[in-house]
Amino acid sequence: MALKSINPTKTKSWQLLQNHFEAIKDAHIKDWFTQNPRRAIDLTLTWEDFYVDISKHRITNETLDLLVQLANEVDLQDAISKYFKGDVINETEGRAVLHTALRAPESANVIVDGVNVIPEIYQVNNKIESFTNQIVNGELKGFTGQPFTDVVNIGIGGSDLGPAMVVEALSFYKNHLKTHFVSNVDGDHVNEVIKHLNPETTLFVVVSKTFTTQETLSNANTIRDWFLKSGSQNDVAKHFVAVSTNIEKVKEFGIDENNIFPMWNWVGGRFSLWSAVGLTISLAVGYNHFDALLSGANKMDEHFKTEAFDKNIPVITALLSVWYNNFFKAESEAVIAYSQYLNQFATYLQQGIMESNGKSVDRSGNAIDYQTGTIIWGEPGTNSQHAFFQLIHQGTKLIPAEFIGFAKSLHGNKDHQDKLMSNFLAQTEALMTGKSENAIYDEGVSDNLVPFKVFEGNKPTTTILIDKLSPESLGKLIALYEHKIFVQGVIWNIFSYDQFGVELGKQLANTILHEILGSTVVNNHDASTSNLLEHYKKLT
Ligand code: F6P
């Protein structure tokens, strides 16, 4: 069954939220702490190894009640049950959205077109496991009989960002295999990656759900040509494997049928790292850790599915984001992870969040007159403190930020960890409390400098404190954001699982490529594009 189509702005709670917003929009968070000594405890969600403090937000209990009422009025519960059941909630592409099935227990029963998909998932997982073990143990060897030393993931978008982010995030758990990622069609990218590689000891994983993506096929062809300078066509079978739904196209490319790891249409690219798209993750950290990543995500799925909305981490974080996006009219959100391992986390989330919820037509096909998809950005702390924090502290824009930190450091360096975490805690305090004129005068600052040193504070943040970065906790964290995306899409009454917005540019690029190659001349470009094209041709 399809998702319901309810315009959120026509609900009773939306109107109440609007009135409530007018009433509290100028209130300062720190005053609420003074009024309620229990605020920090009252507004903290605890679950397993996650401690989520939402007390430094521009919210009261009434705000939360009204936001939960909004979730109820758009029937979020019904949407959640359709999501997990495998209903065709990706209506515009006629598909279920079942990345949650990929991490469900073997005993689960998830029906798509009358068939339980869980056994197929476990069959592929077994194949991932045995292939991983054979590569890691050196049982499977390259064409000159040497064990593999390097793995190259060739893919883009969801076939690159998830695996690349997770492999980096789990570097601590990595084995001896060196992993590389080739994504951009920029030939300098692929050439930089292969220039130090030994074809005799390198495994190539070509990942493309459709197996029609220009970037991935170009890179895979270039790499195969490079490989064939050392190995023969027969050796390709030993060095190239593929992950795809498009078995025919993979075979056409020349990859052995046994080397194909299937995936399914009901797995969206940006939610696919849990499927065979995560093969490079499994190879990099071992199948046991890949499995722990899946089980962490499954735990978050259960929390999301069963917990009351007011204690439900994905639901509450999504509602807070709606609060700032639609009432405070915040233009963007920052995600700041206090872990260098999560260097690529914000980049990964950009696809998940912006490709999903960057929509302006509602589920009834009407143009939307309220804000949807948030702009997401971020870099790890503490580096980001020395880059863009100035603007969050003293700029004119309101930027709600999510701070993610881990209590234990993996290498156990207490000195660094205490310094890191003191920054993690201090920044949200500074953003919230600010610094008043009086406090600055008290420091003896000369009058003319005082205005420049004022911090108004009242900048909202969520603090997500997790015990330790492990495959399991990372799985939970990623799943949290997946469900947050889902909840926001439900509230905004949009289809989160298509991405037609990426098509037009691809089509025009094909037309222009033909023109660059001289095979066709299309004269219906705008004058700017025609001039640029001509100029490019002159330069090359
Ligand atoms: O950018 C559009 C997109 O379709 C993404 O949704 C997807 O993750 C990416 O391209 C790669 O697609 P494929 O896995 O089919 O190569």
Q: What is the pLDDT of residue 195?
A: 96
How far away, in angstroms, is 378 Cα from ligand 1 center? 23
128 lies in some domain = yes
Q: Is residue 325 domain-shared with residue 424, that is, in the same domain?
A: yes
CATH of the domain at 274: 3.40.50.10490
Q: Is residue 393 domain-shared with residue 445, that is, in the same domain?
A: yes
pLDDT of 522 higher than 80:
no
Helix (H) / strand (E) containing 116? strand 115-116
Q: Is residue 454 domain-shared with residue 319, that is, in the same domain?
A: yes
Q: Is the CB of 213 under 6 A from ligand 1?
A: yes
How far away, in angstroms, is 270 Cα from ligand 1 center? 8
- Backbone phi and psi for residue 361, each to the nearest 5 degrees, phi listed first: -125, 135
The mean pLDDT value for 139-150 works out to 98
Q: Is the CB of 162 under 6 A from ligand 1?
A: no
340 lies in some domain = yes
User: What is the distance between the alpha carbons of residues 369 and 71, in angstroms, rounded to a whole number?
Assistant: 19
9 lies in some domain = no
CA 515 from centre of chain: 36
The number of distinct structural domains making up the chain is 3
Q: Which residue has the tokens 């790499």?
A: 223
Q: Is residue 39 domain-shared with residue 155, that is, in the same domain?
A: no
- As given in the structure block, the two tokens for residue 58 are 């521009």
What are the tens digits of pLDDT across the range 344-390?
A: 999 999 999 999 999 999 999 999 999 999 999 999 999 999 999 99
User: Hey, what's the torsion of the CAs at 183, 499, 119, 348, to 10 degrees?
Assistant: 50
Q: Is residue 243 domain-shared with residue 367, that is, in the same domain?
A: no
| Secondary structure class of 199 (helix, strand, coil) | helix
Q: What is the pLDDT of residue 172?
A: 98
Q: Is residue 486 domain-shared with residue 511, that is, in the same domain?
A: no
Residue range(s) defining the domain that contains residue 369: 25-59+310-492
The mean pLDDT value for 51-63 works out to 98
Which pairing describes strands 50-53 and 44-47: parallel, antiparallel, or unpaired?
A: antiparallel
What are the tens digits of pLDDT across the range 380-410?
A: 999 999 999 999 999 999 999 999 999 999 9
Q: Is residue 214 domain-shared with residue 333, that is, in the same domain?
A: no
Please name the residue whose Cα sits nearest to atom 5 of ligand 1. 157
Residue 13 pLDDT level (bands cut at 50, 70, 90): very high
Please tell me which residue, 110 or 518, carries the higher pLDDT value: 110
Q: Is the CB of 159 under 6 A from ligand 1?
A: yes
CA 339 from centre of chain: 16
Q: Is residue 239 domain-shared with residue 132, that is, in the same domain?
A: yes
- As given in the structure block, the two tokens for residue 224 are 């195969």
Per DSSP (E only), the strands in 141-288 are: 150-154, 178-182, 202-207, 240-244, 260-262
Pocket test for ligand 1, best of 95, 99, 210, 498 (most atoms within 8 A of CB): 210
pTM of structure: 0.98
246 lies in some domain = yes
User: What is the distance between the alpha carbons of residues 431 and 435, in angstroms, rounded to a whole number?
Assistant: 9
Q: Mind giving me the DSSP string for 362-397?
A: -TTSPBP-S--S-EEE---TTGGGGTTHHHHHHSSS
Q: Looking at the CA of residue 499, tell me the nearest atom of ligand 1.
A: 6
Q: Is the CB of 158 under 6 A from ligand 1?
A: yes
Q: What is the pLDDT of residue 301?
A: 98
Lowest pLDDT segment from 3-17, 199-213, 515-529:
515-529
Q: Is residue 267 domain-shared with residue 124, that is, in the same domain?
A: yes
526 lies in some domain = yes
Q: Is residue 196 domain-shared with residue 336, that is, in the same domain?
A: no
Q: Looking at the CA of residue 272, tell me the nearest atom of ligand 1.
A: 8
Q: Which residue has the tokens 């030939």?
A: 187
Degrees to nearest 5, angle at CA 373 with 214 and 155:
20
The share of the chain scoring above pLDDT 70, in percent, equals 100
Helix (H) / strand (E) containing 420? helix 414-433
| Secondary structure class of 338 (helix, strand, coil) | strand
Q: Is residue 252 domain-shared with residue 328, that is, in the same domain?
A: no
| Contacts (Cβ under 8 Å, ≥6 apart) of 230 | 199, 200
Q: What is the pLDDT of residue 519?
A: 67
Say if residues 468 and 51 touch (Cβ distance below 8 Å): no
77 lies in some domain = no
Catalytic residues, which ones? 355, 386, 506
Say if residues 221 and 189 touch (Cβ distance below 8 Å): no
- As given in the structure block, the two tokens for residue 29 are 């968070």
| Contacts (Cβ under 8 Å, ≥6 apart) of 64 | 310, 316, 319
The share of the chain scoring above pLDDT 90, in percent, equals 98
Amino acid letter for position 220: A
Which pairing describes strands 178-182 and 150-154: parallel, antiparallel, or unpaired?
A: parallel
What are the tens digits of pLDDT across the range 334-345?
A: 999 999 999 999
Say if residues 274 and 243 touch (Cβ distance below 8 Å): no
Q: Looking at the CA of residue 161, tell me the nearest atom of ligand 1.
A: 8
Please name the residue whose Cα sits nearest to atom 9 of ligand 1. 157
Q: Is residue 484 domain-shared with residue 444, that is, in the same domain?
A: yes
How far away, in angstroms, is 269 Cα from ligand 1 center? 6
Chain mean pLDDT for the chain? 97
How far away, in angstroms, is 160 Cα from ligand 1 center? 9
Please name the residue whose Cα sits nearest to atom 6 of ligand 1. 269
